[in-house]
A and B are shown apart, each in its own frame.
Chain A
């Protein structure tokens, strides 16, 4: 079965609504990417060096990551030689197959799920640099979990940025969940500790912990984060059950540094890729998956409470190549 057929089958078994959401959210991304790819295919009569150079540029313009692109192009060139492909049209398929391959690496796990405690309280720690959308993500995630029938509580661990606590409170109100807070400037570890105690005593299912944004090269702030994580591990066995790194899709190569350093400090278990509803491609998650094996768990596709969707590489690639599949 051809790759596109497989992909199509995979998608059709999932709910239409979800696919639509993903598709419409990523329409800007897809338009530019597919147009470019189609232009490329139409422009070249045969698959030659210039063709690959332009393909390289398309991938780089999606922020896929220079090293990953170089490797990918090399592999593609070999594959094209092996299968003796002459027409650019056929290369399209090989390209998308390779992209999904990078992500799954043979392991065809479908939609990512959040790891939760089997019984009792689950704790999710949310980390990232400034302005990526941590607080917004927590608001959306709280809504989502509540829809799933879980009881949720939020801990306002960003005690540094002006207005951060108020922002989380608004999200708490919208999602209808309680927010545990202290005053601005207090010790974030203490706030999280309070949150855990409150969550325990009220028998809540999930506690979402917000933290202040910090640039990964600030040693003191990264140490502070490690301390917050230690407090969580000490209070609840096996916690945090998830440490989610929030990445802005518009971020370039620095996202790799972010993933690396935050993983060192807090053992990141998954990524939330935000702001994917713009023209940014977020291609860097492919490089992160390839180099650090951190999966993307959710993507942010808009400003509404329901605009957080579980990540699924098939959907992601469908979003990128959807128009091609229909042809």
Chain B
């Protein structure tokens, strides 16, 4: 990642404070500058940043440094608390109308991901809430937008209502709801065309749709990569339509996503869901607290711990940690670790959640690629039990056999053995080198 997280930014300032009993005003001033830069680099709107910094400074000065935290950690804690406050609490509920169908309207700029999100939301409604939604194709402007929604409908095996491109979107929406009533759909999701928030004609059209169908939810779909302009977009859509919530898309990218904070700050409306991938089941409940960590560049440690907790047996982890420390970690263990990691989800997703993982020594060379994982697996499985426990005995002829058995090449086998040895060294450094207790948050099995 091109940008440093807050933790990295604060390093130099923090060093100076370490050992002091109290955080002084000068300390805070210096740190405030770094916090400001970190937030701006994360695309948080500069006005929002200004207010935040003011509050943080007020809170941080004069605080006693807690034993359990370094001064830097303490400041980060304050920052994160402020951000979390601003982000609000989790609100993923979707309205249910007393008189079905419940109508949801999707709005936003071009290319934000409205149509894809419409498909994903429909899928979520069916899977998690056992609903039967009708998709309404009201984007008559973008070429093939209706085809796109129809294709998604086919993939999901759901009904899509369309009247082609010659009928007004207002009429399409109206008839769509009638159709839903007729066929007993309990939800209707109206996919509208992308438009600029300053386009008065097209914004007027949305208002008209709203007046005609009185939707129970109006979701503004926003690209997580949006920069400073996010406030203008959110403000305009909210003023014109009074949105009820936000769907943040493309959050599986490597953006910090400061736009989330800006949007929440100017509209006060909750971000309800986040698009986490291109597949139709990759719409997740939005966690405001985790977003705060992400904006600060601290990785989504919480999600990771949660994932690890649900998937990994703690006793096993302890055992593994011991093995790592003693350098008695073998290919057998490696294989087992890989299985565990794989059951947590795609590797790059997990790597993204690790704070500073990209910068970690030795980590750079480990390409995050699920396909490569299966190669590695095949290579290890082609080793004898003895070889797995004691890789040192793997000589040239054994390598050749392993390569043949796994359908890979000798150089691939070599690379794996080298990587394995590097990893062992790295683990030793991490486990043994760090001060006791300090690495607690990071005793993640794969590391």
Residues of A within 8 A of B (CB): 28, 57, 60-63, 66, 129-133, 139, 160-164, 166-167, 169-171, 174, 184, 215-220, 248, 250-257, 260, 275, 277-281, 284, 303
Provided the pairs A161-B148, A219-B369 are in contact, do residues A278 and B198 lie with their beta carbons within 8 angstroms?
yes
Provided the pairs A217-B352, A278-B198 are in contact, do residues A253 and B227 lie with their beta carbons within 8 angstroms?
yes
A279–B144 touching, CB < 8 Å: no
Q: Which of A167, A184, A260 contacts B2 (CB 8 A)?
A: A260
Instruction: Report if B432 contacts A (CB, 8 A).
Output: no
In Å, the complex CA distance between A131 and B3 comes to: 23
Provided the pairs A167-B144, A184-B151 are in contact, do residues A252 and B109 lie with their beta carbons within 8 angstroms?
no
A163–B148 touching, CB < 8 Å: yes
Q: Which of B37, B145, B196 contacts A163 (CB 8 A)?
A: B145
User: What residues on B are CB-neighbors of A252 within 8 Å?
Assistant: 43, 225-228, 230, 255, 258-259
In Å, the complex CA distance between A167 and B42 comes to: 33
Q: Which of B42, B198, B225, B348 contacts A218 (CB 8 A)?
A: B348
A278–B197 touching, CB < 8 Å: yes
A162–B151 touching, CB < 8 Å: yes
A130–B141 touching, CB < 8 Å: no
Q: Give the distance to chain B from A173, nearest Cβ to Cβ, in Å.
A: 9
- CB closest residue in chain B, given A217: B254
Known contacts A251-B223, A251-B225, A252-B227; 11 additional CB pairs below 8 A are A60-B46, A61-B228, A62-B228, A131-B110, A160-B278, A162-B149, A215-B250, A252-B255, A253-B255, A280-B229, A281-B229
Q: Which chain B residues numbered 129 to 177 have a C-beta less than 8 Å away from chain A?
A: 141-152, 155
User: What residues on A are CB-neighbors of B42 within 8 Å?
Assistant: 253
A163–B147 touching, CB < 8 Å: yes
B352–A28 touching, CB < 8 Å: no
Residues of B within 8 A of A (CB): 1-3, 37, 40-43, 45-46, 109-113, 115, 119, 141-152, 155, 196-198, 223, 225-230, 232-233, 249-250, 252-256, 258-259, 278, 348, 352, 367-371
- CB closest residue in chain B, given A58: B46
A279–B229 touching, CB < 8 Å: yes
Q: Give the distance to chain B from A308, nearest Cβ to Cβ, in Å.
A: 15
B250–A129 touching, CB < 8 Å: yes
B144–A166 touching, CB < 8 Å: yes
A–B Cβ pairs within 8 angstroms, 7 of them: A161-B148, A162-B115, A248-B225, A254-B43, A254-B256, A255-B225, A278-B197
- CB closest residue in chain B, given A214: B278
User: What residues on A are CB-neighbors of B152 within 8 Å?
Assistant: 162
Q: Which of B110, B228, B253 contacts A215 (CB 8 A)?
A: B253
In Å, the complex CA distance between A60 and B3 comes to: 16
User: What residues on B are CB-neighbors of A219 within 8 Å?
Assistant: 348, 367-369
Q: Majority SS of interface residues in chain B?
A: loop
A278–B113 touching, CB < 8 Å: no
Q: Which of B43, B46, B111 contacts A130 (CB 8 A)?
A: B111
User: What residues on B are CB-neighbors of A133 within 8 Å?
Assistant: 110-111
B371–A132 touching, CB < 8 Å: no
Provided the pairs A132-B111, A275-B109, A278-B198 are in contact, do residues A220 and B229 lie with their beta carbons within 8 angstroms?
no
In Å, the complex CA distance between A255 and B2 comes to: 11
A254–B253 touching, CB < 8 Å: yes
User: What residues on A are CB-neighbors of B369 within 8 Å?
Assistant: 219-220
In Å, the complex CA distance between A62 and B109 comes to: 18
B254–A257 touching, CB < 8 Å: yes
Q: Which of B111, B278, B371 contacts A248 (CB 8 A)?
A: B111
User: Which of A130, A132, A170, A257 has the most chain B CB atoms inside 10 A of its CB?
Assistant: A130
Q: Which of B142, B144, B197, B228 contacts A63 (CB 8 A)?
A: B228
In Å, the complex CA distance between A84 and B143 comes to: 56
B196–A278 touching, CB < 8 Å: yes
User: What residues on A are CB-neighbors of B45 within 8 Å?
Assistant: 61
- CB closest residue in chain A, given B369: A219
In Å, the complex CA distance between A154 and B186 comes to: 42
A130–B250 touching, CB < 8 Å: yes
Provided the pairs A162-B155, A254-B255, A278-B109 are in contact, do residues A303 and B141 lie with their beta carbons within 8 angstroms?
yes
User: What residues on B are CB-neighbors of A129 within 8 Å?
Assistant: 225, 250, 253
B198–A167 touching, CB < 8 Å: no
In Å, the complex CA distance between A248 and B255 comes to: 14
In Å, the complex CA distance between A281 and B227 comes to: 10
User: What residues on A are CB-neighbors of B250 within 8 Å?
Assistant: 129-131, 215
- CB closest residue in chain B, given A184: B151
Provided the pairs A129-B253, A278-B109 are in contact, do residues A66 and B228 lie with their beta carbons within 8 angstroms?
no
In Å, the complex CA distance between A119 and B370 comes to: 43
Q: Give the distance to chain B from A276, nearest Cβ to Cβ, in Å.
A: 11
User: What residues on B are CB-neighbors of A255 within 8 Å?
Assistant: 225, 227
Q: Give the distance to chain B from A201, nearest Cβ to Cβ, in Å.
A: 28
- CB closest residue in chain A, given B368: A219
User: What residues on B are CB-neighbors of A170 within 8 Å?
Assistant: 143-144
A167–B113 touching, CB < 8 Å: no
In Å, the complex CA distance between A251 and B110 comes to: 12
Q: Give the distance to chain A from B78, nearest Cβ to Cβ, in Å.
A: 22
- CB closest residue in chain A, given B143: A170
In Å, the complex CA distance between A279 and B250 comes to: 21
B43–A28 touching, CB < 8 Å: no
B112–A131 touching, CB < 8 Å: yes
In Å, the complex CA distance between A219 and B232 comes to: 33
User: What residues on A are CB-neighbors of B46 within 8 Å?
Assistant: 57, 60-61
In Å, the complex CA distance between A216 and B252 comes to: 10
Q: Give the distance to chain B from A252, nearest Cβ to Cβ, in Å.
A: 3
Provided the pairs A133-B111, A217-B253 are in contact, do residues A284 and B143 lie with their beta carbons within 8 angstroms?
no
- CB closest residue in chain A, given B109: A250
In Å, the complex CA distance between A161 and B111 comes to: 13
